[in-house]
Amino acid sequence: MGAYCNDAVSIPPRYDVVSSRDKHVHDNVHGNIFIDSLSLKFIDTEQFQRLRELKQLGFTHLVYPGAVHSRFEHSLGVYWIAGQSVEKLNSYQGMELGIDKFDMQTVKLAGLLHDVGHGPFSHLFEREFLPQVNSGSHWSHEQMSVKMVDYIVEEHNIDIESQMLTRVKEMILASSEFSLPRSSSEKSFLYDIVANGRNGIDVDKFDYIARDCRACGLGCNFEFQRLMETMRVLDDEICYRAKDYLTIHKLFATRADLYRTVYTHPKVKAMELMVVDALVQANDFLQISDTIQDPAEYWKLDDSIIKTIETSPLEELKEARELILRIRRRNLYQFCNEYAVPRDIMDNVKKVTPQDIVCSQKNGGVMLKEEDVAVSNVKIDLTRGKHNPLESIHFFKDYESDEKFTIPDERISHLLPASYQDMIVRVYSKKPELVEKISEAFENYQLKTYGIKAQVHSTPKKKRRYDSCI
């Protein structure tokens, strides 16, 4: 963006200048949003436009038909409310915080580009598929986003200050285990806006919670606008009014509800298990996982890989193709049952595997094989594991106060949960005729492991038998 005089002396970029390339876009969550010219240079690349081909919620739209929104619109939304957050802090505390146009542009770009390295099918790609084909690797979409940002800048000759580029990448990784050493210790609060590793309150959650609830037709009683209007910076940390603690709790509770009812819906998980199996089957031939270190190849990978598998006539993709066709024809892996792990042993419990289920079957009859069973170990929390997320958030009493403090559990509400994390084990049969056998083995596993039998749901066969009697 830099301009140059005839004597070759560079003039610092002006981030407040309105250019003919600036534009407005209408978003169905935030209304009209304004996109600045530097951000448009990133948006108008094939690497960023790829996000249009990544559904935000993967295969969830096959259960919630409205959930067809993409990473593209989510990224625009995060860009917009990231900028709004900085502008509000600047309007309230601009003199003391020293926020300038450089800071505003940096935070907005971090919001825009935070998911540019995301894989297909929501988080399934990095959490379920890659561990099976690249055991021992520690790949993350945040790391790939950073690589992709560098690639886009170089590939498209985008004129951006090196210091700004460095800070954008630091902000993208701020909440991940791969966070970078910060190039500046000043204005640390800016690093908590897009991806907050300090307490989990960030504009990424603000956007996807509102957007996902809307797309799935669910009510959302969390209002992020209230927090943005009342937040303040104390000791280089974004803090919130003590009277807004329940609004913050609604943020985490709504997120947990989405995980329980949408992201980990039993049928959604069944489809995801099938997609993972299909990708694993196809990986040797299509070399899907070979792209994850090279941005020049990785940007070509999107949700359309499923259509490639589904429509290929090649014999090498036959097993993967049949799995995709089963999803299309709703011939899914059959849900057998689920079990909530007792709270007192949750910290020490290991993930349940198909082998655990197979080893728990009774003698006689059909002998199960590991490839007949699929298991989903679902963890749902309020974003801080087993801890109350409010414990890591600092509050202030009123706008005249410069003291920040935390609010202990006993001073909040006796109606808040006594536990902040669930672990649910779900077992599926890959073959309809084995549902009863696998359900029985799962019951035996519960008895052997926990000493109790907890048959939460009737198996499909028992349910049909009951339905025919009423």
List, by residue number, the catalytic residues.
141
Contact 83, 206 (CB under 8 A): no
- Tokens 């700004």, located at residue: 164
Distance in angstroms (rounded) separating the CA atoms of residues 270 and 430: 9
3-state secondary structure of 417: coil
Tell me the DSSP string of 78-146.
HHHHHHHHHHHHHHHHHHHH---HHHHHHHHHHHHHTTTT--STTTHIIIIIHHHHSTT----HHHHHH
Say if residue 135 is exposed, middle or buried (CB neighbours under 10 Å; 0-12, 13-18, 19+).
exposed
Q: Provide CB contacts within 8 A for 357, sequence distance 6+.
A: 368, 373, 375, 427, 438, 441, 442, 445
Distance in angstroms (rounded) separating the CA atoms of residues 26 and 24: 7
Residue closest to 343 by CA, chosen among 450, 454, 419: 419
Q: For residue 426, list its beta bridge partners.
A: 338, 376
Contact 310, 328 (CB under 8 A): yes
- Tokens 């979409």, located at residue: 141
